[in-house]
């Protein structure tokens, strides 16, 4: 309920493009240095949401004025998010999409492949933010090259 309250307060404050600069009444956001993009400080985390449940939640969130959608490859819901974004009718640049690289894919080549998979599944040409999901390994495999 608290998240919904903040999102509703923010509704209508976003410009058509998060890269065009802060409008006069911008909802809470930070500017990412070197990129000129504004990142909303409030977003919808989508872990545990899939299919109709995700489509409904993301569609309501976007309709209420929310603009940051956070996901990860481990969630298995990128295609559902792509559907919600398409249904919104908003231009891609008005949304902020964040996804995460899973722990087992943190090497250079593995991360590159993971990001390419994200782009395909999210049906977008770019992501606004890519994060390392968490720096951990779950098995006895040697760490990726970047961790050696």
DSSP string, 34-70: TTTEEEES-EEE-TT--HHHHHHHHHHHHHTT--EEE
Helix (H) or strand (E) holding 118: helix 108-122
Catalytic-residue membership of 61: no
With a CB cutoff of 8 Å and minimum separation 6, the contacts of 61 are: 7, 44, 69
CA–CA separation, 18 and 134 (whole Å): 27
Q: Which entry of 35, 61, 75, 126 is annotated as an active-site residue?
A: 75
CA–CA separation, 55 and 52 (whole Å): 5
Torsion angle, CA of 73/7/63/94, rounded to 10 degrees? -60
- Tokens representing 96 are 């902020």
What are the residue numbers of the active site?
75
């Amino acid at each position: 309920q608290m998240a919904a309250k903040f999102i509703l307060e923010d509704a209508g404050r976003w410009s058509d493009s998060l890269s065009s600069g802060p409008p006069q009444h911008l909802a809470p956001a930070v500017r990412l240095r070197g990129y000129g993009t504004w990142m909303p400080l409030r977003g919808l985390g989508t872990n545990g949401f899939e299919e109709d449940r995700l489509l409904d939640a993301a569609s309501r969130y976007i309709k209420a004025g929310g603009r940051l959608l956070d996901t990860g490859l481990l969630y298995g819901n990128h295609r559902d998010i792509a559907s919600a974004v398409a249904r919104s009718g908003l231009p891609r640049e008005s949304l902020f999409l964040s996804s995460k690289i899973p722990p087992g894919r943190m090497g250079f080549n593995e991360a590159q492949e993971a990001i390419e998979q994200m782009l395909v599944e999210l049906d977008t040409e770019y992501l606004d933010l890519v994060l390392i999901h968490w720096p951990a390994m779950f098995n006895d495999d040697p760490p990726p090259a970047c961790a050696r």
